[in-house]
Amino acid sequence: MAQLAHAEIPLSSFSFPNFSFQLFPPVSFFKKLFGSKKKTTPQPAPASSVNLDETITAHDKYGREIQVTKRDWLDSVLLGNLKKAWSNPDELYGLIISGFQDGFFAEIEDAVLQLAKIDPDHERGATILGILYLQTDRAVDALQHLTQHIATHGESAVVLTNLAKAQSALGDAALSLQTLWHALELDPNQDNALLWYESIHRDQDGAPAGLAAFERVAALSGSWRAQLWIARGRLAQGELDAAMSLYHESLGRAETPIPTDLLQQISGDLGNQGHLPQIIELVAPHYDLTVHGIQVGNNLIKANLDTGQLDAARALLKQLQAQQRPDWAQTLHFWEDALAKADAEVAPTIPQEALRVGLLTLEGPLWLRDQHPFTDLFPPKAADAPRISFVGNSAEQVKKVDVVTMQRTDNPGRMSRALPLFLSEHVALTSNAQTTTYVMWVQNDNGGFMLSGKPFEDEAVAQYSRQKSDAAPDQSAAEFTVYTHLITQGENWTLKLRLIRTIDAKCIQDFSYDFPEHGFHNIADQVLADLDQALDNETDLTFPTSGLSSPTSGLSTSQLDHYLLRLEQCLAVRCDTLNKTGTSLSNPSEIIDGTIHLCLQNPIHLPSRLLLSRTLNGIHKKDTQLASSFSEKVNSLHSEFPIESINSDTLAKEFEEALNV
């Protein structure tokens, strides 16, 4: 099985896209972990305590999500890792906790017994074994084990709390409550004990009794956690000042660094009551990325985003992205999209007379640089070779726009740019022609792609090529221009392709193709065949058999639409380097990750690999830390999936330059 990294499942989850502030775990979680049923007769350990056919989410070393059954996870990953950590108490403890969170108890009992035997932290080893006994309905064993530990090593709050659970499971509620209170006297901030203590009183006598229980614990020396729960009640009653006083008291008493769940609960409760500036005031000064991670970072990003402090939200997001945590990826992509949407919402409407649009000229395949070491793999281009130009940048959509507005890139816009790039690649790689793709770029502010909601006239399309040739007298004029226009007004899209003679703007041939959104691969072969035939009929192009036969050589057919997406994103990265003061790039972390995944899905496809190189190179120029954080994944990609048809050292050097490492 591939190397896997277990995905952490947050104790309080949230859904997309309507993100709410994350809260501290509810009492029900602790009841589930430590047990709440009363047993008078202990039972033997069950053969299995979990449905092994259920699935869990894991990530491989490239960050790709993998769904595996609990049976496979247990047999192929967890048990093997436990054996590897058999003599390392800290690693063994972490794996056991992970197993407990997935519902494995009886299945990993041998590892728990081993930890209890070798752990120099006697309290930790005893507690884990006590929890195992409780979760496998052996309260008598738990009682005896924990009592013996206390006799040998003395009392501690954690052990006493689990002892109280064993006493409760055996039906002695009065003794259990007495033991639980003593545990809180030793450590009033032990979350499991505090929440259980409150729930006992609330279940018996109602919410006021639960509040009184919190207040009794808050009066104990060193207490800070109970104050958080009292503050939640004050907020619910609209008493912000009282809640803030309690929060300051809690922060003043807590150890350093401030516990993650403390900051998570403060920010979650304030956020859900709409007190966003107070989150930034109280939580931001104590936030430590390496300690508090995404649990608190989520709430800080949302607070800054919702208060319009986009730069602060973006800075925090970049710090989190650089950690390369696959279990954070979906959440961080969500925030990237949210920030891009916020930027678009505040972008001003550009008056027609103030709009400045330029034409970007891209020679040959987007991913192939001049004088590249791999150019000899492709058909040679003579100086007098015929030239074909490609133009897109137009798509008719349901939503009609009468003024020039800045908006986030959407699927029609991406495809309007990807198709000319792809067709240009195809002609450049399969014929002796030189190819040029023209992309319209808005030069106002930080720039952006220009997308027309109407098709261009043939004369306008031809004029683009003529103008660019006039501006570059040493470059031969394009004999023909291939223009692609999209109609995206329903579930099925239509591609209009026109072959236009540049000199007189006459349309020589035109084609129309229907295809589903994200389903261009269904018509790709026909489009390429028609284009080749049209060019063969009208030009003196030759089609050599050496080199790559097509940009799709080595690319899975079903992956073509994925390739088009990453191709357009690479274009966006290259264009973003034109911005000297800012950036117009949306979600660069996902762009890199997605292009790596494209390479993994098509491991012998050289264009995808070079596309990744150009993408990394461009992002590195604007965000060195982000690009460099992908070095480990990129190195693994090359070592695990070399491309046999090329020099691996040359490719490795290519990526070293791209990452500047």
Provide the 10 A C-beta neighbour count for residue 377.
15
Whether the pTM exceeds 0.75: the reply is: no
Query: At 511, is the pLDDT very low, low, confident or very high (cuts 50, 70, 90)?
Result: very high
Q: Does 525 lie in the same domain as 381?
A: yes
Q: Using alpha carbons, list the distances in angstroms from residue 471 to 43, 98, 431, 460, 476.
A: 87, 64, 26, 17, 11
- Greater model confidence, 337 or 214: 214
Q: Is residue 200 part of a domain?
A: no
In a domain, 314, yes or no: no
Residue 595 structure tokens: 């292009």
Phi, psi of 438 (to 5 degrees): -105, 130
Give the domain-ending residue among 172, 187, 202: 187
Cis, bond preceding 544 (omega within 30 deg of 0)? no
Please report the sign of the dihedral spanned by the C-alpha atoms of residue 73, residue 76, residue 77, residue 80. positive
Among 191, 182, 119, 133, which residue's Cα sits nearest to residue 156?
A: 182
Residue 220 inside a domain? The answer is: no
Bigger pLDDT: 66 vs 236 = 236
User: Are residue 627 and residue 566 in the same domain, yes or no?
Assistant: yes
Assess whether 373 and 505 both reside in one domain: yes
Does 143 share its domain with 161? yes
**Statement to judge: residues 482 and 617 lie in one domain:** no
Longest dimension (CA), the chain: 98
Per-residue tokens: 549: 């036969």
**Domain assignment of residue 141, yes or no:** yes
The pLDDT tens digits of the residues spanning 543-572 come to 765 545 577 788 888 899 999 999 999 999
> In angstroms, how far is CA 481 from the centroid of its own chain?
39
**Do 522 and 465 belong together in one domain?**
yes
Which among 498, 516, 546 is the end of a domain? Answer: 546
The fraction of the chain above a pLDDT of 70, given in percent, is 84
Residue listed under structure tokens 């800045």: 406
**HEC readout, 388-444:** EEEECCEEEECCCCCCECCCCCCHHHHHHHHHHHHHHHHHHHHCCCEEEEEEEEECC
Q: What is the DSSP letter of 73?
A: H
Tell me the pLDDT band of 352, cut-offs 50, 70 and 90. Answer: low
Sequence letter at residue 398? V
Question: Are 227 and 215 contacting, i.e. CB atoms less than 8 angstroms apart?
Answer: no
What does the pLDDT read at residue 505? Answer: 95
Determine the Cα–Cα distance for residues 35 and 224; give it in Å rounded to an integer.
Answer: 26
Do residues 488 and 627 both lie within one domain? no
Peptide bond into 607 cis (omega under 30): no
Q: Is the domain of 477 the same as that of 600?
A: no
Which residue range is the domain that position 108 belongs to? 35-187
135: pLDDT confidence band, cut at 50, 70 and 90? very high
pLDDT of residue 646: 73
Helical (H) or strand (E) element with 360: strand 357-363
* 221 within a domain of the structure (yes/no): no
Q: Is the pLDDT of residue 13 over 50?
A: no
Q: Rounded distance, CA 373 to CA 18, Å?
A: 48
Q: Which residues contact 154 (CB under 8 A, 6 or more apart)?
A: none
How far apart, in whole angstroms, are the C-alpha atoms of residue 616 and residue 612?
6
Same domain flag for 388 and 522: yes
Is 486 a member of any domain? yes
Task: Write down the pLDDT at residue 598.
Answer: 96
Identify the three-state secondary structure at position 589: helix
pLDDT value at 27 more than 60: no
Q: Are residues 531 and 560 in the same domain?
A: no
Q: What is the CATH number of the domain that holds 479?
A: 3.30.160
Contacts of residue 15, Cβ cutoff 8 Å, sequence gap at least 6: none
User: Phi first, then psi: what are they for 370, rounded to 5°?
Assistant: -60, 140
Amino acid identity of residue 456, one-letter, is F
Highest mean pLDDT among 124-138, 381-395, 453-467, 629-643: 124-138
Q: Nearest-CA neighbor of 124 among 98, 146, 104, 102? A: 146
Q: Over the stretch 177-191, which tens digit does the pLDDT of each residue have?
A: 999 999 999 999 999
Taking residues 98-113, report their average pLDDT. 95
313 in a structural domain: no
What total number of domains does the chain contain? Answer: 3
Residue whose entry in the numeric block shows the structure tokens 């990394």: 616
Residue type at position 78:
L
- Average pLDDT score over residue span 306-333: 91
**Do residues 591 and 509 both lie within one domain?**
no
* Residues paired with residue 507 on neighbouring β-strands, in sequence order: 500
Q: Is the pLDDT of residue 364 over 80?
A: yes
- What digits encode the pLDDT tens for the residues 217-263? 999 999 999 999 999 999 999 999 999 999 999 999 999 999 999 99
**CATH code of the domain covering residue 59:** 1.25.40.10
Tokens at residue 370, please? 């001049």
Residue 213 lies in a domain: no
Residue at which a domain ends, from 546, 580, 614? 546
Rounded Cα distance between 592 and 595, Å, is 5
Percent of the chain surpassing pLDDT 90 = 60
- Residue 518 sits in the same domain as residue 460: yes
Place of tokens 């949306």: 586
